[in-house]
Amino acid sequence: MTNFSLDALDLAALLSSRVCHDVISPVGAIVNGLEVLEEEKDAEMRGHALALIKSSANEASARLQFCRLAFGAAGSKGASIDTGDAELVTRQLLADERTQLNWSVPRVLMSKNKVKLLLNLCLLADAAIPRGGVISVSSTGADDSISFKVEARGVNARLAAHLPALLAGEAEDSAIDARAIQPYYTGLVAKACNLAITVATEPELISIEARPAAASDEVEAPQSAVA
C-alpha cells in the first residue's frame, strides 16, 4: 500500500460512478415495471408491476436523498446541516426488514463535513453486515471535540481487508476504482474535520470510531483484525 492522491476531476468522476451505481438498480426496476404495464393486460400482473414501480421509486428516492447529504454540496460552503435530516435519510436508506437502526446522535445543527462523515461511516457499517443486523450510531462531545461511533452487529460481520488502508489515504498499486472510492472519500472528509478513524472487529461486531486527531494520538488505537 502507498499513499495516494486523486485529482479533483478523478474524485468527482468516481463519486459520480458510485452514486449512479446506487440508483441504477431501482431505476432499472422502474423501467421494467413500466414495460410490463405497457404490454400486460392481466389485472393481477399489472398490480404487481405497479407495486414494483412504487417500491423501486421509493428506494431510488431514498438513495438519492442520502447521497445528496453524504456526497453532495447540500448547501453553501460552511453551511450546517440538521442531524435530524441525517437520521431521516439514513432510516429511509435502511428501511428494510434486514437492518435495524439505533440512532443516538442529538438533534443539532452540525458542520456539513461532520454530517457527511457520519453518513459515510453509516455506509461502511451497512456494507459490513450484508445479511443485515443492527447498526448503532452515537456521538459524544460537540463542535471541535465531537466524536462519532458506529457499530454494526450481524451474522458474518466483516470489513474488507483493504478498508483501513483506504481510510488512511493509501491504495494498492496506486489505483482506486468506483468500488473503493467511498471509504477513500470518507478518509478525506475525516481529515478535513480533523478527526481520525479507527476500526475494530470482534465476532459479529464491527466498530468504527472517528475522534479528534490529537485525542486519538494520546490513546492506543483499537486493534483492527480485519478479515
The three cell numbers of residue 59 are 428506494
pLDDT of amino acid 74: 60
Residue 176 in this model has a pLDDT that exceeds 90 = no
- Asked if pLDDT for residue 214 goes beyond 50, the answer is yes
Cell numbers at residue 176, please? 482506486
Percent of the chain clearing pLDDT 70 (strictly above):
89
110-146: pLDDT as tens digits: 999 999 999 999 999 999 999 999 999 999 998 889 9
Confidence band for 213, pLDDT divided at 50, 70 and 90: confident
DSSP three-state, residue 14? helix
Instruction: Evaluate if residue 65 carries a pLDDT over 80.
Output: yes
Residue 187, φ and ψ in degrees, nearest 5 = -65, -40
Asked whether the beta carbons of 1 and 170 are under 8 A apart, the reply is yes
In whole angstroms, give the CA distance from residue 61 to residue 33.
16
The burial class, CB within 10 Å (0-12 / 13-18 / 19+), for 102 is exposed
3-state secondary structure of 110: strand
Tell me: the pLDDT tens digits for 87-114? 999 999 998 778 999 999 999 999 999 9
Lowest mean pLDDT among 76-85, 126-135, 149-158, 218-227: 218-227
Q: Given this model, what pLDDT does residue 78 score?
A: 61
- Least confident segment among 31-40, 41-50, 72-81, 126-135: 72-81
Q: What is the pLDDT of residue 174?
A: 61
Residues 15 and 9: their CA atoms lie apart, in Å, by 10
Cell numbers describing residue 194: 480533523
Beta bridge partners of 134: 100, 153
Whole-number pLDDT of residue 112: 94
DSSP 221: P
pLDDT score at 108: 95
In the block, residue with C-alpha cell 460552503 = 77
pTM of structure: 0.87
Question: How far apart are alpha carbons 137 and 227 in whole angstroms?
Answer: 23
